[in-house]
Amino acid sequence: MKFSVITLFPRIVEAFAAEGLLAQARERGLLALETVNPRQFTEDVHQTVDDRTFGGGDGMVMKVEPLARAVATLEPGTRVVVLSPQGRLWQQSEAAAWAKEGRPVAFVCGRYAGIDHRFTVKYADDEISIGDYVLNGGEVAACAIIESVARLIPGVLGNAVSAARDSFSERLLECPQFTRPREVEGMSVPAPLLSGHHAKINEFENSVALVRTALFRPDLLSAEAELQPAVKVVGALNDNELYALGLTREDLKELQ
Ligand SMILES: C[S@@+](CC[C@H](N)C(=O)[O-])C[C@H]1O[C@@H](n2cnc3c(N)ncnc32)[C@H](O)[C@@H]1O
C-alpha cells in the first residue's frame, strides 16, 4: 500500500517511518512511503507557500496552488486526505477498511493557521482529525494514521492475532495483558489467565473487556451489551487480582 505525505516538513515523517515495524514493512515491500514538499511547486524566488489570511485573522494560511500542483504528481486513484481538527474523527474501523482496500492515500499536512479552504473543497476526498485538540501541523496526524493502517496490512505485524484482539477491533477496550512474575507489589495476575484453558481465558478476557469498557469508555458500549454476567466473572477475583486489573469492588458495584 502506498502512502504519500504532502508536507513542508518531510523530515518529520521520514524519520518516523525509518524506525521499527514501518521501516521493516517498507524494506519488505509491504508499504511504500513518499513525501512531497509543496515548496517544490512554487514559482517565485522565495518559494512562497503561504500568505496572510483575508478577514484580518492571525497567522498565515497555506496557498491553494502549490498544494494543487503537489496533488497533480500523485498516482491516479489516490485518496486525498486533508488533515484538519475540523475533519471527522479517525477510527480503528476505518483503519481496518483502508488496510483491506489497499487504495493509495495522500495526506495533506497543514501548518500555520491551516490551509486555504478552497483547496479542501476542490481536491480533498476526505478531511480527517485525529482528536479534538489542535496540533502545530498535520505531520503527527499523518504518522498516527499511517501507523494505524499499516499495522493492519497482512504481514506487517509478526503475529496477525495480536491486532485482531486489540482495543476497538471488537469495539471494546482490550483486556489488560500481564507477563512474569505472577506477583508484583501486591498485584496478582488473575488466576483464569493462568488456567491454560483457552475457552475459559477467552470468556474471562471478554468479561474484563466489557467491564473496563463500561467503566472507562461507556460511549463504546452498545445498548444490548450484557454487563451483569461479566461483572459476576470479574467480581469472583480476589482483591490482588482486581488491583492488577486497575479495578475496585466499588467500581463493580457502580455497574450493578
Ligand atoms: C495550527 S493547525 C490549524 C488549526 C485551524 N486554525 C483550526 O482551528 O481549525 C495547523 C494544521 O495542523 C493540522 N492539525 C492540527 N490539529 C489537528 C488534528 N487534531 N487532526 C489532524 N490535523 C490537525 C492541520 O493540518 C492544520 O491545518
Q: Ligand 1: distance of its center to the CA of 197 in Å?
A: 48
If phi > 0 it is left, if psi is from -120 to 50 it is alpha, else beta; for residue 77 that is left
Beta partners for 188? 183
Co-location of 7 and 111 in the same domain: yes
Position 30: which residue type? L
Q: Please tell me whether residue 87 adopts helix, strand or coil conformation.
A: strand
Residue nearest to atom 1 of ligand 1 (CA): 136
Co-location of 129 and 38 in the same domain: yes
Print pLDDT tens along the chain (256 aa). Answer: 999 999 999 999 999 999 999 999 999 999 999 999 999 999 999 999 999 999 988 899 999 999 999 999 999 999 999 999 999 999 999 999 999 999 999 999 999 999 999 999 999 999 999 999 999 999 999 999 999 999 999 999 986 567 888 999 888 999 999 999 999 999 999 999 999 999 999 999 999 999 999 999 999 999 899 999 999 999 999 999 999 999 999 999 999 9
Co-location of 29 and 145 in the same domain: yes
Co-location of 81 and 194 in the same domain: no
Co-location of 109 and 46 in the same domain: yes
Main-chain phi, psi angles of 4, to 5 degrees:
-115, 145
Within a domain: 158: no
Q: Is 84 in the pocket of ligand 1 (CB under 6 A)?
A: yes
Co-location of 192 and 133 in the same domain: no
Co-location of 33 and 129 in the same domain: yes
DSSP β-ladder status, 105-108 and 2-6:
parallel
Q: Ligand 1: distance of its center to the CA of 153 in Å?
A: 27
Co-location of 179 and 135 in the same domain: no
Within a domain: 157: no
Atom of ligand 1 lying closest to residue 109 CA: 25
Co-location of 137 and 181 in the same domain: no
| Contact (CB, 8 A) for 166 and 174 | yes
Within a domain: 172: yes
Q: What is the pLDDT of residue 111?
A: 98
Residue-range definition of the domain harbouring residue 193: 165-255
* Three cell numbers written together for 6: 504532502
Q: Ligand 1: distance of its center to the CA of 200 in Å?
A: 46
Q: Ligand 1: distance of its center to the CA of 110 in Å?
A: 6
| CATH of residue 186 | 1.10.1270.20
The contacts of residue 161 (CB under 8 Å, 6+ apart) are none
Q: Is 24 in the pocket of ligand 1 (CB under 6 A)?
A: no
Q: Is 211 in the pocket of ligand 1 (CB under 6 A)?
A: no
Of the residues 126, 150, 174, the one at which a domain ends: 150
Co-location of 40 and 126 in the same domain: yes
Structurally, how many domains does the chain consist of? 2
Of the residues 120, 150, 180, the one at which a domain ends: 150
Output the CA torsion 140→161→244→180 (10° steps).
Answer: -110
Co-location of 123 and 184 in the same domain: no
Q: Is 137 in the pocket of ligand 1 (CB under 6 A)?
A: yes
Within a domain: 198: yes
Q: Is 110 in the pocket of ligand 1 (CB under 6 A)?
A: yes
Within a domain: 96: yes
Q: What is the pLDDT of residue 58?
A: 85
Question: DSSP per residue over 156-181, as a string?
Answer: SSS-THHHHTSTTTTSSPPPP---S-
pTM: 0.96
Q: Ligand 1: distance of its center to the CA of 119 in Å?
A: 15
Q: What is the pLDDT of residue 170?
A: 83
Please count the other Cβ atoms lying within 10 Å of the Cβ belonging to residue 34: 17
Within a domain: 188: yes
Q: Is 108 in the pocket of ligand 1 (CB under 6 A)?
A: no
- Please give the angle made by the CA atoms of 207, 213 and 216, to the nearest 5 degrees: 135
Q: Is 109 in the pocket of ligand 1 (CB under 6 A)?
A: yes
Co-location of 174 and 121 in the same domain: no
| CATH of residue 22 | 3.40.1280.10
Beta partners for 127? 82
Within a domain: 159: no
* Three cell numbers written together for 72: 497533480
Q: What is the pLDDT of residue 95?
A: 98
Q: Is 38 in the pocket of ligand 1 (CB under 6 A)?
A: no
Within a domain: 160: no
Q: Is 141 in the pocket of ligand 1 (CB under 6 A)?
A: yes
